[in-house]
Amino acid sequence: MLSKSYEDELFRRLYLLGSEETDGLIDEFCMRCHAPIGVYLKEIPPADGSKLSDIAKRGISCDFCHTVSGYKKIGNGNFELSPGMIKRGPFEDSNSPGHKTAYSELHTKSEFCGICHNLYHPTNNIPLELTYTEWKESPYAEEGIPCQDCHMRQNPGIPATGITKRPDYPGIAGAGGGKRPHLYTHYFVGANTIPQIQIDETYRQLAIERLRAAATLEIIRPTNPTPDTENTIKINITNAGAGHYLPTGLTELRQMWLYVKITDSSGKTIYESGALDNEENIDKTSTIYQSIFADKNGNPTEKVWKIESLISDNRIPPKKSATEEHSFNIPATATLPLNVETVLKYRSAPQHLVDELFGKGKVTPLVVDMVTEKSQIK
């Protein structure tokens, strides 16, 4: 997925819009993590990529990561590069006939990921993305579980989250090499499902598998449901599998919400929340788990370059829970038992923003059902 950091069409369109609206202020800022070789070679600006070399367009390529030799500080792509024939990695005894090798302790630590996965506004320093900090303050960091231990152990069918197995993969890293007890996988999958218009289905499925192994739901039913009165169910949403907040990243875009539907035994719907309308907008009765930022006038904005303050952040920290209460009336004509269905849903961007960038109705963000829980009220 890192190889798509420049090609991701959602990012590119949003980036070009931001470049236009800021007169190029964000050009290098964004590309330090999306096309770092291009920034290093001074091929950015311009934002349109007309000067980018082919190697720069490969985004976060193998050679880029394995020539990172340090960082000035965590965040905003403040990496230090040492291009050349020395390639750095996590093995102390590696040897290659094609280039020199060097052991890098940094490549074994979450700080390596934090170089880009903490993001601060370039002019006012407001935190925009704190995935590394979220991990650093989590039980996973206390237990010594780095980013690599989840995001570099995933294989098809093995999402490798905090609630699944994270197996070793013994093997040989290169021709002529000895067998090692574990070789890290390099899918680098997160929750990005928007570029389905350009990526191989394998990677989209890996993202879905990871999302479906991130959270759990628990339904707490009313004990004595009474017709023609207000009844309440509670749903606990637990971030059981992610070593950072749910969701994480640029969470003014990413949306996670709970869908709730209650029907009687005949199938008649008596309550519903969190459905999408005809224009793919989320029901306003639903709580969306995300960060909400404001522009200089105090109005909510999803455009990073306009952010001046944080309005709210209701995302769920690692191994913590959020509880929703849903009140509903049971009609006298309803027949018991009542069937309760809850689904935690996720998409990488809201439909209205995608419409603005691609054209109305051109692209529909994939909605992933992360976890489903059902129960009955008798």
- Tell me the C-alpha distance between 127 and 252, whole Å: 12
Q: Which of 158, 203, 211 shows the shortest CA–CA distance to 371? A: 211
Can you state the percent helix, strand and coil of the chain, rounding each to 5?
A: 25, 30, 50
φ, ψ for residue 38, nearest 5 deg: -60, -40
- Tell me the C-alpha distance between 212 and 217, whole Å: 12
pLDDT at 174: 83
The answer on pLDDT for 194 being more than 70 is: no
Q: Which of 46, 253, 29, 18 shows the shortest CA–CA distance to 122? A: 29
Q: pLDDT tens across 114-124, in order?
A: 999 999 999 99
Per-residue pLDDT, averaged over 36-54, amounts to 96
- Tell me the C-alpha distance between 36 and 250, whole Å: 19
Say if CB 370 and CB 212 are below 8 A apart.
Answer: yes
- Tell me the C-alpha distance between 92 and 94, whole Å: 6
| Helix, coil or strand: residue 161 | coil
Per-residue pLDDT, averaged over 54-82, amounts to 96
Spell out the residues 6+ positions from residue 220 whose beta carbon is closer than 8 angstroms to its own: 233, 234, 235, 236
C-alpha distances in angstroms, 159 versus 58, 96, 112, 245, 286? 25, 31, 21, 17, 28
Which structure tokens are listed for 251?
């969470």
Looking at residue 239, what DSSP letter applies? E
Say if CB 236 and CB 218 are below 8 A apart.
Answer: yes
126-129 long-range Cβ contacts below 8 angstroms, 24+ apart? 126/293, 126/307, 126/308, 126/309, 126/310, 127/310, 128/250, 128/252, 128/293, 128/304, 128/307, 129/248, 129/249, 129/250, 129/251
Per the prediction, the chain carries an average pLDDT of: 94
- Vertex 366, ends 134 and 282: CA angle to 5°? 80
Question: Could you identify the residue written with the tokens 């289905």?
Answer: 201
- Tell me the C-alpha distance between 270 and 273, whole Å: 11
Say if CB 156 and CB 205 are below 8 A apart.
Answer: yes
Per-residue pLDDT, averaged over 34-56, amounts to 96
pLDDT at 173: 87
Looking at residue 178, what DSSP letter applies? P
Domain 195-201+207-377, CATH homologous superfamily name and number: Immunoglobulins (2.60.40.10)
Pairing of β 179-180 and β 338-347: unpaired
- Tell me the C-alpha distance between 130 and 8, whole Å: 21
Q: pLDDT tens across 270-305, in order?
A: 999 999 999 999 999 899 999 999 999 999 999 999
Write b or e for each residue in 335-345: b if 16 or more Cβ atoms lie within 10 A of its Cβ, otherwise e. eeebebebbbb
Q: pLDDT tens across 207-221, in order?
A: 999 999 999 999 999
pTM for the model: 0.95
Provide CATH 2.60.40.10 ranges for the chain.
Answer: 195-201+207-377
The answer on pLDDT for 202 being more than 90 is: no
